[in-house]
Structure 1
């Protein structure tokens, strides 16, 4: 079982090399891990040494990193994404928001839904563009808690930690035809560069700002976390990992746990060059992404026989 200590990690590229910055629960100053590595590589090293990830980091040589130095970083990596992006799987649960206990009818008419968003090639992190689909009817953000899981070589499920994410969706497509929910979710998935190891938080305060032409178009504060889910995290995990097809050794899962609010009720669609900024006092960095349209010549939809 992984550590319950509050240890935060960020994976970045510095001069072309992957580096890790950590904030240990008992240390105020962030530290560099001196040895270049990705979080996925650190995870494998800790696993084969049979120690927690936090203990592995404590055994590594470290050097001090200032907050000013952190603000100069620009090239971020998706936390724990394996080198083979096809080994990562992105999915989520819908209708997870906890309802008032007196609204029994609404609870029964809105069952929890699971949807697939894609493999690791769809993952984007801080400062990376969101590429909208050519056939999209709209584009909207959903700021959510994301929990990252790893299936060990022996098939055990490990909860690595939690972070924030943007479950980019096509809300107009779902509104026109509810049976197209799964199809409307096949969009880029934004995952915060910063992860907090251990069990997910009960409550996370977040704010979301949509900007267009450098002007604020929409802003809202909201809460997410385990306290705002209709079921326990264990219940959701049992729903997901009771399927052996989702327990492939060395697979990394990024699971979105539902939004409490979204701009889709106020904005018909996000446009190219719009920015989405998600912030939380629980995280040092924001999660900022920009919208771009897909290049019509980048992907061919024509199918031929080999």
Structure 2
């Protein structure tokens, strides 16, 4: 399975192949803004790796960088930094564990609840703080699969691959008024891994969440979020979503979160300011860890 990522190093944009190993140098290839997105549109996932290395043009300029180099900054997959023409959105209540039966093979598709999380520039990378409202009721981490789509100039969405995210939200506020306050509950920052897996949406994704407090594990639990864990079929969800023209705006990059299973809240655990959320996606060999920071309430100035 091929994995690509984009990053900034010393103010320039680069891309890499595979997962960098701690303490070892990794080759980065100089790329232009939009180069990988154009490859997705022109040739699908198969063309992206060649676009990274610059095979078609005789090879790209390279540098060798250690993963912990302080001048290296990873980017969300295919993020259009020049225009921020990107959107984070997702589905709720998609897992089988939240239904009292399994779907019939020929069951008519009923769309799950949908939400807009924010712009792609709002996404956070591993180890960056996730900022919440100043006084959340009860926070919930949500390890999820995130599908990445790029729209061409005619507004046709092209699937690029998938990554993993943490859709942190205030489930306590959501439950106080499910039909009106969910948009407020979602106003917490979301993190993604920078790794783009150039493959179809995964059927099996398993791992473990650990909430660290003062350097020690305060809570942990297993999770699953692949297609086999979902009640809804992924192609049905994607087809329904892109039936809306606003989500097919030319050049738009969509980060589509597929939903999460039960987690720390359902075990009676409360995430606090300063806790560190560690999502170990063991099935895919990646870890997404972020500290939680309560934001500050500020009144609008007149």
Determine if the alignment matches structure 1 residue 184 to structure 2 residue 185: yes
Normalising by structure 2, what TM-score?
0.83
> Does residue 78 of structure 1 match 2:76?
yes
| Distance in 2, Cα, partners of 1:81 & 1:232 | 26
Give TM-score, length-normalised by structure 1: 0.82
**Pairing 1:70-219 to 2, within 5 Å after superposition:** 70=67, 72=69, 75-84=73-82, 86-99=84-97, 103=101, 112-134=112-134, 136-179=136-179, 180-219=181-220
Q: Which residues of structure 2 form unaligned runs of 5+?
A: none
CA distance in 2, matches of 1:158, 1:207: 31
RMSD of the TM alignment (CA)? 3.2
1:42 aligns with 2:36: yes
* Cα shift readout 1:92-142 (whole Å, capped 9, x = no counterpart): 11111125997279x99x972111111123211111111111353232211
Task: Give the aligned partner of residue 3 of structure 2.
Answer: 8
CA 1:272–1:96: 2 relative to 1, 3 Å: same
Gap regions ≥5 residues in structure 1: 1-5
Q: Indicate if the aligned counterparts of 2:28 and 2:63 stay in contact, CA closer than 8 A.
A: no
Is the deviation greater in 230-239 or in 11-20? 11-20
CA contact (8 A) 2:17 2:49 kept: no
CA distance 1:226–1:85, change in 2 (3 Å): farther
Query: 1:101 & 1:274 partners in 2: Cα distance?
Result: 31
Change in Cα spacing, 1:217 to 1:228, as seen in structure 2 (3 Å) is same
Q: How many residues align?
A: 287
- Quote the offset at 1:49 in angstroms: 8.1
User: C-alpha distance in 2, partners of 1:178/1:101?
Assistant: 17
What is aligned with 1:228? 229
Contact 1:159 1:198 in 2 (8 A): no
Q: After superposition, what is the alpha-carbon deviation per residue over 1:215-252, rounded to whole angstroms, capped at 9, x for unaligned?
A: 10111122221111212211001221101111101011
Between 288-297 and 163-172, the greater mean CA deviation after superposition: 288-297
Tell me the distance in 2 between the aligned counterparts of 1:30 and 1:241. 40
Q: Distance in 1 between matches of 2:86 and 2:283?
A: 25
Distance 1:121 1:64 in 2: 26
